[in-house]
């Protein structure tokens, strides 16, 4: 199978590093994005459609990162784009907000089981930060319990002491517990009586570089009861999982009710909007917090989100992605086994994590992922992968073929594997 080359990519990157810190910053860059080796990966896209994007060198990739999650219906979905085009003609960022804001809030309340109201911002981190602020406003308390390894954005409170730019005061009121260790949450609450404002976590544990883990039986039900009994706000960061497990919210999927739910990635198929949904008891606290942004009430992303959610409900997008993801991951696991590789799959099939377990250093896994990318299947080697609704069973077969050839290439390079 032919492998890709990248010539224009390097020309663009030389320009970028002169005027942009790191050339491409954050999780989409070759450094933070853990592109190992960097020469296997595209850096810049030229266009995208459906399940695929094309880089500046004309190489086509089936995209299992889905723009790190926002691509849920397929790039340039016709129904979403039509709603966007219509709204652009009517207005977008206007002094008085469009009533599209009301339409989207009503749709969120009708869709998300726990929701009595909705608030809109731009990024996932906007609404996770707002959730914690609301919890503190409502309770008058200052401490937050978080799960070790959890990711809630890049605001200072979400990061760790010792990271560049983070000082003691940013994180001094955070208490960290291990995932699925309910007794650690109980202990933290007991050791800090009347001081815990919020427990925030993802609906299942999906850190980087580590197998994902589902909640143990009754874990969330026990957490819910403890929070209720102790007056603690239960906030769920559904930014990554939202609408890939259950249209009613991932708390609903796991059989409990959150007080606050944060959404972003799959909300508007790539248009920039995030949402915080909450219960009536926290509505006044939410209203009391000064929290806004220059573009948070823009109408075009609201129109995109309405079209996206409406279509996801119509086609039962979560079920489609879960089923297609299972076919993909079952096949990848079997293909790996046929070549002597133990490909461990964890998490939900619609946003799964994988690693080759033959080598604890992850070097073999990085090699295999790089070989897949060189052949046109864009995986990341350290992060959740995503399914979108534009993918088909033919795309899955195509990906299996790439994976098979990539396993062969790694096996040939490592005769010691037998």
Give the strands of the sheet with 174-177, arranged side by side.
Answer: 117-121, 274-278, 260-263, 233-237, 196-201, 143-147, 174-177
Same domain, 166 and 304: yes
In a domain, 68, yes or no: no
Same domain, 184 and 152: yes
Element (H, E) at 136: helix 124-139
Same domain, 144 and 280: yes
Q: Is the C-alpha dihedral spanning 305, 273, 251, 134 positive or negative?
A: negative
Position 416 scores a pLDDT of: 84
Same domain, 172 and 278: yes
Position 189 scores a pLDDT of: 98
Same domain, 402 and 310: no
In a domain, 71, yes or no: no
Give DSSP secondary structure letters for 74-90. -BT-HHHHHHHHHHHHH
pTM, two decimals, is 0.96
Same domain, 13 and 155: no
In a domain, 127, yes or no: yes
Same domain, 109 and 166: yes
Same domain, 363 and 234: no
246's tokens: 């259950």
Say how many domains are in the chain: 2
In a domain, 109, yes or no: yes
Helix, strand, coil content of the chain in percent (nearest 5): 45, 15, 40
Residue where one domain finishes, among candidates 293, 315, 337: 315
Position 124 scores a pLDDT of: 98
Position 319 scores a pLDDT of: 98
Residues facing 385 on adjacent strands: none
CATH number of the domain at 94, please.
3.40.640.10
β-pair type (274-278, 117-121) = antiparallel
Distance (Å, whole) CA 170 – CA 318: 37
Hey, how many other C-beta atoms are within 10 angstroms of the C-beta on 184? 17
Angle at 373 between CA 391 and CA 75, to 5 degrees: 35
In a domain, 2, yes or no: no
46's tokens: 């030229």
CATH number of the domain at 41, please.
3.90.1150.10
Residue where one domain finishes, among candidates 249, 281, 315: 315
Position 415 scores a pLDDT of: 86
Residue where one domain finishes, among candidates 270, 295, 315: 315
Same domain, 184 and 253: yes
pLDDT in tens, the chain (418 residues): 899 999 999 999 999 999 999 999 887 788 777 888 999 999 999 999 999 999 999 999 999 999 999 999 999 999 999 999 999 999 999 999 999 999 999 999 999 999 999 999 999 999 999 999 999 999 999 999 999 999 999 999 999 999 999 999 999 999 999 999 999 999 999 999 999 999 999 999 999 899 999 999 999 999 999 999 999 999 999 999 999 999 999 999 999 999 999 999 999 999 999 999 999 999 999 999 999 999 999 999 999 999 999 999 999 999 999 999 999 999 999 999 999 999 999 999 999 999 999 998 999 999 999 999 999 999 999 999 999 999 999 999 999 999 999 999 999 999 888 7
In a domain, 233, yes or no: yes
Same domain, 263 and 332: no
Same domain, 263 and 128: yes
Prior bond of 149 cis (ω within 30°): no
116's tokens: 């009595």
Range of the domain at 248: 78-315
* Residue in 335, 365, 411, 376 with CA at minimum distance from that of residue 208: 365
In a domain, 1, yes or no: no
Same domain, 209 and 252: yes
In a domain, 180, yes or no: yes
């Amino acid at each position: 199978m032919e492998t890709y080359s990248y010539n224009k990519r390097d020309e663009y990157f030389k320009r970028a590093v002169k005027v942009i810190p790191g050339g491409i910053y954050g999780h989409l860059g070759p450094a933070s994005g853990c592109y190992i080796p960097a020469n296997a990966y595209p850096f810049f896209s030229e266009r995208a459609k459906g399940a695929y994007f094309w880089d500046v060198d004309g190489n086509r990739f089936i995209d299992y990162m889905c723009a790190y999650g926002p691509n849920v219906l397929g790039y340039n979905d016709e129904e979403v784009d039509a709603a966007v085009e219509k709204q652009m003609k009517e207005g977008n960022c206007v002094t008085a907000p469009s009533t599209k804001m009301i339409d989207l809030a009503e749709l969120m309340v009708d869709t998300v089981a726990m929701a009595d109201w909705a608030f809109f911002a731009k990024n996932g981190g906007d609404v996770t930060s707002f959730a914690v602020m609301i919890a503190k406003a409502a309770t008058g308390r200052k401490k937050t319990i978080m799960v070790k390894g959890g990711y809630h954005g890049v605001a200072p409170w979400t990061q760790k002491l010792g990271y560049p730019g983070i000082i003691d005061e940013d994180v001094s009121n955070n208490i960290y517990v291990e995932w699925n260790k309910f007794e650690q949450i109980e202990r933290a609450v007991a050791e800090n009586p009347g001081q815990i404002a919020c427990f925030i976590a993802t609906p299942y544990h999906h850190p980087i570089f580590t197998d994902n883990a589902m909640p143990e039986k009754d874990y969330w039900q026990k957490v819910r009861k403890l929070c209720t009994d102790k007056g603690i706000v239960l906030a769920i960061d559904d930014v990554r999982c939202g609408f890939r497990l259950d249209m009613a919210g991932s708390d609903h999927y796991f059989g409990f009710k959150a007080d606050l739910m944060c959404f972003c990635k799959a909300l508007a198929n790539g248009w920039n909007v995030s949402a915080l949904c909450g219960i009536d008891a926290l509505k006044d606290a939410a209203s009391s917090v000064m929290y806004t942004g220059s573009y948070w009430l823009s109408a075009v992303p609201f129109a995109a989100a309405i079209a996206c959610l409406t279509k996801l409900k119509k086609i039962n997008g979560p079920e489609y992605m879960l089923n297609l993801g299972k076919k993909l991951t079952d096949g990848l696991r079997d293909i790996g086994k046929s070549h002597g590789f133990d490909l461990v799959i964890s998490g939900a099939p619609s946003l799964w994590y994988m690693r080759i377990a033959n080598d604890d250093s992850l070097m073999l896994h990085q090699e295999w992922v790089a070989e897949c990318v060189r052949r046109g299947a864009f995986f990341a080697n350290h992060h959740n992968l995503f399914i979108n609704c534009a993918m088909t069973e033919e795309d899955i077969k195509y990906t299996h073929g790439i994976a098979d050839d990539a396993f062969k290439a790694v096996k040939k390079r490592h005769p010691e594997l037998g």
